[in-house]
Structure 1
Amino acid sequence: MPLRKVYLVLVLCLLLAAQSHGQKRPNIIFILTDDQAAWAQGQYQGSQAITPNMDRIAQEGVYLSNAFVVTPVCSPSRASLLTSRYGYELGIDDWINEKGRSLTGIEPGLGIDAALPTWPKALAKAGYHTGLIGKWHLGSLDESHPTVLGYQEFSGFREGGTKTENPIFEIKGESQQMNGLTEDLLTDLALEFVDNHQSSPFALSLHFRAPHTNWLPVRPEDAAPFKSKNISIPEPNFPDLDTARTKSMMRDYLSSVKCVDRNLGRLLNRLDSLGLAENTILIFTSDHGYNMGHNGIWHKGNGHWLLNHPVASPNPNIPVDQRPNLYDNSLRVPAMIRWPGKIQPGTVLNHTVANIDWYPTILDMVGVTIPLQDTIRGKSFNQFLLGKSSGQRWDEDLFAVYTTKHQSKTQMRMYRTNKYKLIRDFLNPERDEFYDLESDPQEHINLIHSTDKRIIAQIKTLDKRLSQRMINNNDPLKHP
């Protein structure tokens, strides 16, 4: 063959190889559970949860041991995940109330602004086929529909919740009565999505409704391990704790978590059988943490007392059964990533990361650039995942926010380091808190009025950092 023809053949082969390489951009599956605490997953030390499939993701990839959210309740946390901004910047401070009774009434017109940049929009623009299956809770009206925020397909429910079985889903724009357990049905839809989009890079968000209440029913095999199990509770000696109710609720909650894990196994098996596992980034996390007897409460940032007798509150903004909080158990979430060939199996990342970091990290992982004009509060931790962070410094501090509106009225802001935590309630300053996390990781002893000079100095330091973070992030409260 003449040399010129050999040269042309080589050039053609290189072009085809480059094109083929471009087609191998990794798929993304982002799995988000609802109300799952970090302690409700097998990788967490001392966990009673039975989660072999969640554990598998961590063992085959990386376990993020210090993953948090910046608001410990559904809607603002999901908004922050989607936009890498704080809820107060988006007009979503608390969970969006479409039909329930609350102190502020219902909010049928509240929703996320369709003009906001989101990582699904960026992925769709980069050639990904994007889809959301499951819970939305960022607005029920069409102007805040998932398909105007970057998802090309949506199947699930726009509201904050749905039934545990026989739910009504929106599928292709139409309401459909479904028959079966909600988590099983959502997984069926996810498997169908994966089956239908094998030939092009896809980005699927699978938002389970569990383990949100109601926890039951689940399939018998999900509940069976906990029926006869001697359930332990985290703080059995907490004063006046209703231990019987706590154990019963913990049993049901862990059954719901196992239901999610069983369905996660179905998804993992489908990726294996289709040969997609090696080219799919799989991310698993939750929208916020949860308490189950921790500090005497259950629920999340809008916690409820779990005591035998109600706690009197002299503050009219805090009803008798409420304990609004920014405890670590409300903010800390399970988080694992599997990325074959990129992340070393069995990796543990101990750096503090937050849900506002997912946006820049996901785009960084697949080589999509964020436009300079977009406001992004988070930062990419991709280089730490890949083990290429030598010499890079990571900010371990966390700024969290929660203005409660529905069950109580507060304006909480938090600054947390690995050693200390400061919480200011700008509406109810008598509720301010300071914890020494090294000596008191359970956050039992509020040191805000301590006369210890060391503690006073630390409070002043964190107060300055909190003020600066509020200013930097355009917080309307603008702590002086």
Structure 2
Amino acid sequence: MKKSGKIRYKTVAAMIGLVVGLGQAAAEKKPNILYIMADDQRYDTLGCTGNPVLKTPNIDRLAEQGVSFSKAFATTPICCVSRVSVLTGQYARRHGVHDFFTQVPDLGKTYPGILQQNGYYTGFIGKWGTDEQNQEYFQRVSSFFDFWGGSMHQSNYWHERDCRFVKNNGTTDRTEFQCDCPPDARGAKGEQTRVGRKNIQDPIHQEIHVIPQKVEQFLSQRDADKPFCLSISLKAPHGPWGDYADEVKHLFEGVALPVKASVDVTDAENRPDFLKNSLMNPQRGSKLVRDPKMLQEEMRHYYRLIAGIDICMGKILASLKEHDVDDNTVIIYTSDHGHFLGEHGFDGKWLLYEESAHIPMILYDPRNPVQAQTSDELALLIDMAPTMLDLAEIKVPKDMQGKSLLLQLTDPAQPLRDSFFMEHLYGHGPKPPNHIERSEGVRTRRWKYINYIDQSGPQSEELYDLENDPMEMHNLAGNPEFTVQFKKISSQWRRYREELK
């Protein structure tokens, strides 16, 4: 009997070992996914996208062995709406979130939800950005993920080293994540949007210190028998631009930063009054275009925040290597939208011009490294969810409107789409200056059409030939030579706005 018992024990042990081995093999077969999204970073602010001044060696490493999309765009250039489009793979027209106060419709139908249902260990770090002040909602969201390192409101750059947000382990106490930092000079405290580090005794910077620390927490606590999907939503380079880390505070001093030709007073003055008076432009945009010294200083702040992102990226890559998951972790780097730097007399984002909608996008798969490929196909943020599900070999739901980008990894010229819809329907306030002009449009490979849907008359529509006018300085909407093209693309806009609901 004793011998029989030993045989049974060995058999059971062998079976357990086989099951564990199969589980580990399955986890190894499925890639880990790391999705990193900057906030307000425009396309031309990386070394690998051609910036002559800004050095981003860690992000550039991804592009050197992956594919960089030269024509990647946000379909709605505003934080909250764009983030829901990423989560759902849908245009705002379908997912229905157009402001800061509406919740993600169904977390279970987002890419982290679907991945979790299919055996992935999921985590989120950084700015969540929807219904950002709702405590009850954030309790549910933080509980939804296996690991939570997210924050409410707009997130903050500076924290006490021992604040509750920093110390939270992301798992057993993940619903008790709210920051309890002291008030800033204006009286904002904790999770409220703070400026500077006044009253913080032992300050640490979110991008350079806190996020890498939380990535380390995630990798240390994850279920190693499961593949993981970690989504990181950075604060940078969103304002306040002066809240960069000490490590980058001397960068770009005395350096002349590149300014686009569309930072032009005449061009700014020729814009419709309803745009010149829209949110932020009277206070900052018109000043930036008229004051080169002010513009250069603001750009230095903005660039320093992006340099801080690259430091953060270097620490994250080191953590992946230390935990021996670097060779099976696919990394996507992008931004929720871009940002004006005085072009056309504008500041902020929101409008459908290239500076606001054109974003960096890099896809790196260490299992199939390639040699610095560039795809000129039209890639969108609504493609992020389908791409991640495709990586995990999960069928993409029919209600997702984006497309997987995996074919572009092996063939950057693989056709993706010829055009896409753009929309921004959040008006912010009813009257200037607390107002954003609502707009919709279509961008093709060559042309862009914009319709200011609450306006009428000749200035309510714009048409740009991006091949001959990449700076969007010459509106052709009223030019009889382009009537055929105008009718064609405006008809496409009317069709899209109905079909994409």
Q: TM-score band (shorter)?
A: 0.7 to 0.9
1:190 correspondence with 2:193: no
Question: Which residue does the alignment assign to 1:86?
Answer: 91
Q: Is the CA contact 1:397–1:416 (under 8 Å) kept in the aligned structure 2?
A: yes
Q: Deviations over 1:225-262 (max 9, x none)?
A: 21232223223861162211110100010001001110
Q: Is the CA contact 1:134–1:207 (under 8 Å) kept in the aligned structure 2?
A: yes
Question: Which residue does the alignment assign to 1:56?
Answer: 61
Question: Which residue does the alignment assign to 2:464?
Answer: 435
Segments of 5+ residues of structure 1 without an aligned counterpart are: 1-11, 97-106, 302-324, 475-480
Question: Which residue does the alignment assign to 2:331?
Answer: 282
Where is the helix percentage greater, Structure 1 or Structure 2?
2
Question: Which residue does the alignment assign to 1:169?
Answer: 165
1:380 correspondence with 2:404: yes
Q: Is the CA contact 2:257–2:296 (under 8 Å) kept in the aligned structure 1?
A: yes
Partner SS, residue 227 of structure 1: coil
Partner SS, residue 180 of structure 1: strand
1:45 correspondence with 2:50: yes
Tell me by how many angstroms 1:279 deviates: 0.5
1:404 correspondence with 2:426: yes
Q: Is the CA contact 1:35–1:286 (under 8 Å) kept in the aligned structure 2?
A: yes
Segments of 5+ residues of structure 2 without an aligned counterpart are: 1-14, 169-173, 182-202, 266-288, 429-433
What letter is aligned with 1:173? T
C-alpha change, 1:468 and 1:144, in structure 2 (3 Å) is: farther
Cα separation, 2, equivalents of 1:417 and 1:280: 33
Q: Is the CA contact 1:120–1:149 (under 8 Å) kept in the aligned structure 2?
A: no
Tell me by how many angstroms 1:265 deviates: 0.4
Partner SS, residue 461 of structure 1: helix
C-alpha change, 1:14 and 1:162, in structure 2 (3 Å) is: closer
Given candidates 434, 437, 447, the residue that maps to 1:420 is: 447
Question: Which residue does the alignment assign to 1:122?
Answer: 114
Tell me by how many angstroms 1:272 deviates: 1.7
Question: Which residue does the alignment assign to 1:309?
Answer: none
Q: Is the CA contact 2:338–2:359 (under 8 Å) kept in the aligned structure 1?
A: yes
Q: Is the CA contact 2:66–2:363 (under 8 Å) kept in the aligned structure 1?
A: yes
Question: Which residue does the alignment assign to 1:133?
Answer: 125
Q: Is the CA contact 1:434–1:447 (under 8 Å) kept in the aligned structure 2?
A: yes
Tell me by how many angstroms 1:161 deviates: 3.6
Q: Is the CA contact 1:164–1:214 (under 8 Å) kept in the aligned structure 2?
A: no
Tell me by how many angstroms 1:187 deviates: 2.0
Cα separation, 2, equivalents of 1:293 and 1:473: 33
1:69 correspondence with 2:74: yes
Cα separation, 1, equivalents of 2:142 and 2:204: 29
Partner SS, residue 224 of structure 1: coil
Cα separation, 1, equivalents of 2:291 and 2:346: 10
Q: Is the CA contact 1:116–1:149 (under 8 Å) kept in the aligned structure 2?
A: no
Partner SS, residue 250 of structure 2: helix
Mapping of 1:303-452 within 5 angstroms?
325-372=351-398, 375-387=399-411, 393-406=415-428, 407-429=434-456, 430-452=459-481
Cα separation, 1, equivalents of 2:140 and 2:464: 39
What letter is aligned with 1:123? L
C-alpha change, 1:437 and 1:71, in structure 2 (3 Å) is: same
Question: Which residue does the alignment assign to 1:472?
Answer: 499
Question: Which residue does the alignment assign to 2:483?
Answer: 456
Partner SS, residue 177 of structure 1: coil
TM-score, scaled to structure 2: 0.78
1:250 correspondence with 2:250: no
Tell me by how many angstroms 1:127 deviates: 0.8
C-alpha change, 1:59 and 1:192, in structure 2 (3 Å) is: same
Tell me by how many angstroms 1:117 deviates: 1.1
Cα separation, 2, equivalents of 1:162 and 1:148: 18
Tell me by how many angstroms 1:465 deviates: 1.4
C-alpha change, 1:15 and 1:129, in structure 2 (3 Å) is: closer
Partner SS, residue 67 of structure 1: strand
C-alpha change, 1:168 and 1:448, in structure 2 (3 Å) is: farther
C-alpha change, 1:47 and 1:327, in structure 2 (3 Å) is: farther
Partner SS, residue 225 of structure 1: coil
Cα separation, 1, equivalents of 2:150 and 2:142: 15
Given candidates 147, 151, 158, the residue that maps to 2:152 is: 158
Tell me by how many angstroms 1:135 deviates: 0.2
C-alpha change, 1:63 and 1:393, in structure 2 (3 Å) is: closer
Cα separation, 1, equivalents of 2:57 and 2:104: 35
Cα separation, 2, equivalents of 1:471 and 1:89: 10
Question: Which residue does the alignment assign to 1:293?
Answer: 342
Partner SS, residue 377 of structure 2: coil
Q: Is the CA contact 1:421–1:435 (under 8 Å) kept in the aligned structure 2?
A: yes
Given candidates 4, 27, 37, the residue that maps to 1:23 is: 27
Work out the percentage of aligned pairs sharing the same amino acid.
Answer: 26
Q: Is the CA contact 1:360–1:380 (under 8 Å) kept in the aligned structure 2?
A: yes
C-alpha change, 1:66 and 1:221, in structure 2 (3 Å) is: same
Question: Which residue does the alignment assign to 1:3?
Answer: none
Aligned residue pairs total: 423
What letter is aligned with 1:152? D
Partner SS, residue 290 of structure 2: coil
Tell me by how many angstroms 1:19 deviates: 4.8
Tell me by how many angstroms 1:411 deviates: 3.2
TM-score, scaled to structure 1: 0.82
Cα separation, 2, equivalents of 1:450 and 1:427: 22
Given candidates 219, 225, 229, the residue that maps to 2:245 is: 219
Query: How well do the aligned residues superpose, as a CA RMSD in angstroms?
Result: 2.6
Cα separation, 1, equivalents of 2:144 and 2:440: 30
Tell me by how many angstroms 1:16 deviates: 8.4
Tell me by how many angstroms 1:433 deviates: 0.8
Cα separation, 1, equivalents of 2:47 and 2:247: 18
